[in-house]
């Protein structure tokens, strides 16, 4: 139902602002200008014209964002990327466990050979065990990437919400981190991480 | 005086693979009585039910983290003196400081090698 025009209409809109679409925005600005034009100075009229132009710019931006098909990002691209990363973790875990199984067989064999051969076998399997810990680090790094993807997904959803009617989409905001959660940073890049000797020095400083 | 390698060692990590790696590395330095837990809550239950001479724990686990486990252990009259080594990828200064303040015995950053593990175990068990 069309509401009465003029100041009453403006007052209604100010108290109950709708999620404007392009047509509505233009109508609001036109309504403001036409209602007030006779009372305004040249400067104020110019300002209102700028506001009208701003409304057109926002509407154009909305149309451009809609044309980007951002729904694909949240509906398809990010879930697909997350699944792919999950598959990487699963495959590397399976490969690592296969390697560990072979090492455990070698450890058993080491009990049946000479002391010198056993030592050589143990040294070799120790190095393999150490190297296999890559799977844990890789998994944690991938988990960090997944969290980043989720953050992007939420930001995209927020942009969509901004340019859609309020009842079309609701994006829950992330709860603030607790002090404990803020310490869960995961593996750092080599340039940013403390190595074992730095950690040892830091611990020693408490003694 | 030598280290009692027959002691029970509890290793805690939510990555099964990591538990397997640490168990095998401990076996190579002759710690054969090793029990596993996949998070802090399970570890705490095992610690309260048994006798352990050493805890080696990851930090980043759900629902109870390694840091929370450490705090619980230090707050428990019977468990509070149990040596506790954190093995984690968390390598920021604030992490090490928080762990130290919570009473960690030593801190190993991932990825680590067998020699570091052996050295830290010897240190916390008083044989550095």
Q: What digits encode the pLDDT tens for the residues B4-30?
A: 889 999 999 998 999 999 999 999 889
Lowest-pLDDT range, A9-23, A133-147, B100-114? A9-23
Tell me whether A125 touches chain B (CB under 8 Å).
yes
Q: Any idea which residue has 């209102």 for tokens?
A: A48
pLDDT level of residue A39 (50, 70, 90 thresholds): low
At CB < 8 Å, which residues of chain B contact A? 13, 15-18, 20-21, 24-25, 27-28, 59-60, 65, 67-68, 89-98, 100, 106-114, 116
Q: Any idea which residue has 């468990």 for tokens?
A: B79
pLDDT at A4: 47
Interaxial angle between packed helices B93-102 and B66-75, expressed in degrees from 0 to 180 and rounded to the nearest 10: 20
Confidence check: pLDDT of A120 > 90: yes
SS3 label, residue A12: helix
Q: What is the 8-class DSSP label of residue B90?
A: B
Mean pLDDT of all residues belonging to chain A: 79
Confidence check: pLDDT of B36 > 60: yes
Confidence check: pLDDT of A1 > 70: no
Lowest-pLDDT range, A39-48, A65-74, B60-69? A65-74
Six-digit token string for B62 = 């759900």
* Contact call for residues B87 and B111 (beta carbons, < 8 A): no
Residue of higher predicted confidence among B10 and A200? B10
3 state SS for A92-111: HHHHHHHHHHHHHHHHHHHC
Task: Work out the average pLDDT over A135-164.
Answer: 82
Confidence check: pLDDT of A110 > 90: yes
Contact B96 A194 (CB under 8 A): yes
State how far residue B17 is from chain A, nearest Cα, in angstroms: 7
Alpha-carbon radius of gyration of chain A: 31
* Contact call for residues B122 and B128 (beta carbons, < 8 A): yes
pLDDT at B74: 97
Of the candidates B50, B7, B42, B45, the residue with the CA atom closest to the CA atom of residue B26 = B7
Confidence check: pLDDT of B113 > 60: yes
Specify burial of residue A187 (Cβ count, 10 A radius: 0-12, 13-18, 19+): buried
Taking the whole predicted model, whether its pTM rises above 0.80 is answered as: no
Task: Work out the average pLDDT over A80-109.
Answer: 90
The closest CB to that of A133, out of B18, B59, B100, belongs to B18
Six-digit token string for B111 = 């990825």
- Interface predicted TM-score (ipTM) of this complex, two decimals: 0.82
d(CA B43, CA B20): 16
Residue of higher predicted confidence among B13 and A174? B13
* B27 contacts in chain A (CB < 8 Å): 107
């Amino acid at each position: 139902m069309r509401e009465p025009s003029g100041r009453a209409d403006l007052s209604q809109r100010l108290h109950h602002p709708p999620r404007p679409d392009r047509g509505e925005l233009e109508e609001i600005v036109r309504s403001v200008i036409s209602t007030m034009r006779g009372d305004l100075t040249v400067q104020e009229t110019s300002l209102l014209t700028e506001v009208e132009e701003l409304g057109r710019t926002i509407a154009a931006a909305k149309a451009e964002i809609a044309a980007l098909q951002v729904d694909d990002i949240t509906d398809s691209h990010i879930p697909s990327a997350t699944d792919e990363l999950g598959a990487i973790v699963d495959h590397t875990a399976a490969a690592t466990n296969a390697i560990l199984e072979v090492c455990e067989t070698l450890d058993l064999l080491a009990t049946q050979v000479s002391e010198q051969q056993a030592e050589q076998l143990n040294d070799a399997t120790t190095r393999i065990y150490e190297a296999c810990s890559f799977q844990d680090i890789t998994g944690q790094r991938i988990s960090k990437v997944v969290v980043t993807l989720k953050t992007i997904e939420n930001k995209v959803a927020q942009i969509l919400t901004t340019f859609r009617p309020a009842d079309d989409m609701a994006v829950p905001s992330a709860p603030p981190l607790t002090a404990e959660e803020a310490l869960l940073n995961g593996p750092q890049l080599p340039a940013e991480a403390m190595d074992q000797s730095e950690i040892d020095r830091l611990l020693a400083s408490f003694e | 005086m030598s280290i009692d390698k027959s002691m029970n060692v509890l290793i805690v990590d939510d990555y099964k693979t990591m538990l397997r790696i640490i168990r095998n590395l401990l076996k190579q330095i002759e710690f054969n009585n090793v029990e596993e837990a996949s998070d802090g809550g399970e570890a705490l239950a095992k610690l309260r039910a048994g006798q352990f001479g050493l805890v080696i724990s990851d930090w980043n686990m759900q629902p109870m983290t390694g840091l929370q486990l450490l705090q619980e252990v230090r707050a428990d009259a019977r468990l509070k003196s149990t040596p506790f080594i954190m093995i984690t990828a968390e390598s920021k200064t604030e992490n090490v400081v928080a762990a130290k303040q919570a009473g960690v015995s030593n801190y190993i950053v991932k990825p680590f090698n067998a020699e570091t593990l052996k050295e830290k175990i010897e240190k916390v068990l008083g044989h550095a």
